[in-house]
Chain A
Amino acid sequence: MDLYEHQARELFAEHGIVVPRAEITGSPKQAREIARRIGGRVVVKAQVRTGGRGKAGGVKLAADPAAAELTARQILGMNIKGHTVRTVMVAQPVDIAEEFYVSYVLDRTAGRFLAIASAEGGMDIEEVAATRPEAVARIPVDPAEGVTTATAARIADAAGLPPRTVDVLVRLWEVLVREDALLVEVNPLVRTRDGAVVALDGKVTLDDNARFRRARRYDEDDSGHDPLEAAATAKGLNYVKLDGEVGIIGNGAGLVMSTLDVVAGCGARPANFLDIGGGASAQVMADGLSVVLADPSVRSVFVNVFGGITACDAVADGIVRALDTVRLTKPLVVRLDGNNAARGRAVLDGRAHPLVEQVTTMDGAASRAAHLATTP
């Protein structure tokens, strides 16, 4: 999961990285109070988990506490790339002498982390890398060694950063390792006119697989999320809302992705991604169906299951029992194939629900579901 800037800022501070004085709030009145406390002139920054806040008008300078209140009022409630601004960070401005870029990112191809650093901070790093690749240093980090002072010095040197940034590079690596992060990025990292090195903005992506050993808990919040996705998350379902009219339920991430594509190839648009995984119990099927059917744009539902480890008769039992608890309001096209497919199909035939029909091939079933969703 991606952290908010203020959460990243807190992690940085805990690991001894200097950050500007700041507080967060969801209220314009409090923004004024905070501005008064930290010296009058402040920066008000929208807290959303997406890039491009500045361009969208989500980061503004306010000259005094009254202006801070007004600015906070403008920014709160803004919609930035589908994310609603619920809180703002009110921060002390920093007297910038130089701006740098530093990050640690996962290099999937090499199977290790990569330090990326540039003396040209404050801009879109991908743009800098595209137009002036020589301005961006990319140094692989040895997994067994990590970032020692010597490695950090090499990174700083390669990017043309001043020696004062070495300590920050080491501490930032500590953040990455201790917090099980997949990305830490500071853009810009600045040198102030009085010589301090300050992390002015921060982006941290945490590894969801490491949640079990992370001491700190982050609430999954729903800003920027569809209410259906929030409902699905609450039920532990792996669901992504899309814009179409064919609801999709399948087993296995690859097969479900493929199912969306095949439906799209039949001239309809998939309404969602939903992977119910290997187990596919009646409860999971019922939960999945209820989330998919709650989507008002869904006009047909396609259940696509290949029984590899899962047996199709167990999946069919799951569907039949789910039909007892969920009122089916739209046609359901089911394709069962693989392990125990014949028995599974017989179970569904036995239930003989008027809105359920079976098609034995994936392409045929996708075409049928697409037809049902697009015919008036």
Chain B
Amino acid sequence: MAIHLTKESKVLVQGMTGGEGMKHTRRMLAAGTDVVGGVNPRKAGRRVDFDVPQSLNGLGGAPSSVPVFGSVAEGMDATGADVTVVFVPPAFAKYAVVEAADAGIGLAVVITEGIPVHDSVAFLDHARRRSTRVIGPNCPGLITPGQSNAGIIPADIAKPGPVGLVSKSGTLTYQLMYELRDTGFSTCVGIGGDPVVGTTHIDCLAAFQDDPDTELIVLIGEIGGDAEERAAAYIRDHVTKPVVGYIAGFTAPEGRTMGHAGAIVSGSSGTARAKQEALEAAGVRVGATPTETARQVLAVLDV
């Protein structure tokens, strides 16, 4: 099962013919993703050949020739695509997502970093009205190990397994995946560190709660906003599966942005301490370090 992405997912890549798009399309193919097309109006009708390496988990290995379509709608008509991964540069990302939502795609994974917030607000609103789920922007995407990878999460880190993971941070996701590589994951979702994002911790908690493949949920948060506090309230009321949490940013000074545009403590709100307390009050075990968090997961799973 997994959430939002399975081996049945047919994936388009907007911005596939750019540098990042090429590099990560090759990696996605190697991870077993069914990449059915790229989108670029100036290169429509061509095909791009990928020499796909065999990945460590035995997927990929066969060369692949991917067609380029002039629009998302065209690509969907021709292939039945239901997911798009967006690598389009910041200045044009808004138009890419609006186009995908207008075409009626189910899921848009926006990897692009540095999109103006007014653009994100506009395309998220547009997508919401058309029932397109957006993951990101400024996120590493999501992976269902052994099945499909939509984005830039390294696919070789971890195998399939019972842990569902949702995180604001890319590298912390990789770190936790690595710590729990022998246990494995149903799906890992990087929701992104921007101030506004399309899919929240709560959306993923709800999906993991309903996913029979997920036995335990790992929630990684960081300073800024109140998404973790809201997630804690949601867990208390709606999640019966065990949740293990990790929060980054206890040592962050007030009023300074720590790398991610959304990672800022304003006054007493958005602090790591407040988030940890909210999660613990909802019965979530919160690890002191990523490694300790992984140990808590193993203890709960009793492996």
Mark A residues whose CB is within 8 Å of B. 106, 108-109, 111-113, 126, 142-144, 177, 180, 182, 207-210, 212-213, 238, 240, 242, 250-258, 260-265, 269-270, 273, 275, 306, 308-309, 337-339, 361-363, 366
Contact = CB atoms under 8 A, between A and B. Distances in A.
Contact of A306 (B116, B171, B193): B171
A143 B290 contact: no
B121 to A, nearest CB: 5
A195 B126 CA distance: 41
B171 A252 contact: yes
A213 B116 contact: yes
A337 B262 CA distance: 27
B225 A242 contact: no
B289 A362 contact: yes
A269 B246 CA distance: 20
9 contacts: A111-B197, A180-B118, A209-B261, A212-B90, A253-B169, A253-B222, A257-B222, A308-B157, A362-B289
Contact of B152 (A180, A242, A262, A309): A309
Instruction: Kindly state the interface size class of chain B when it binds its partner.
Output: 35 or more
Interface string B136-151: 0000000000000000
A158 to B, nearest CB: 22
Contact of B256 (A240, A252, A253, A361): A240
A142 B291 CA distance: 43
A209 B117 contact: yes
A308 B154 contact: yes
DSSP class of B's interface residues: helix, strand, loop or mixed? loop
A258 B289 contact: yes
A254 B251 contact: no
B118 to A, nearest CB: 6
Contacts of B178: 306, 337-338
B196 A254 contact: no
B222 A254 contact: yes
Contacts of B195: 106, 108, 182
A209 B222 contact: no
B124 interface: yes
A361 B291 contact: yes
Nearest to A261: B250
Given A144-B126, A262-B289, A308-B171, A254 B230 contact: no
Contact of B289 (A180, A238, A265): A265
A294 B114 CA distance: 30
Contacts of A213: 91, 116
Nearest to A239: B259
A183 B118 CA distance: 11
Contacts of A260: 249-252
Nearest to B288: A265
Interface of B: 90-91, 114-118, 120-122, 124-126, 152-154, 156-157, 167-175, 178, 193, 195-198, 220, 222-223, 225-227, 230, 246, 248-253, 256, 258-263, 267, 272, 288-292
Given A257-B248, A258-B289, A264-B251, 5 more contacts: A254-B173, A256-B258, A258-B248, A264-B250, A338-B154
Given A253-B258, A270-B251, A109 B153 contact: no
B135 to A, nearest CB: 13
Q: Of residues B115, B168, B253, B289, which shows the largest number of chain A Cβ atoms within 10 Å of its Cβ?
A: B289
B172 A252 contact: yes
A306 B263 contact: no
A213 B91 CA distance: 8
Nearest to A110: B196
A288 to B, nearest CB: 13
B226 A254 contact: no
Nearest to A308: B174
B86 to A, nearest CB: 16
Nearest to A260: B251
A261 B248 contact: yes
A108 B196 contact: yes
Given A238-B259, A257-B249, A251 B171 contact: yes
B222 A180 contact: no
Contacts of A142: 125
Contacts of A261: 248-251, 272, 288-289
Contact of B175 (A143, A270, A362): A362
Contacts of B125: 111-112, 142-144
Contacts of A209: 90, 114-117, 261
A182 B257 CA distance: 14
A228 B288 CA distance: 30
Given A109-B227, A260-B251, A273-B259, A255 B117 contact: no
A277 B116 CA distance: 20
A112 B171 contact: no
A252 B169 contact: yes
Contact of A363 (B174, B246, B259, B289): B289
Contacts of B121: 106, 111-113, 143
A92 B219 CA distance: 54
B242 to A, nearest CB: 22
Residue picked from A109, A213, A275, A306, most chain B C-beta under 10 Å: A306
Given A209-B90, A240-B253, A253-B263, A338 B174 contact: yes
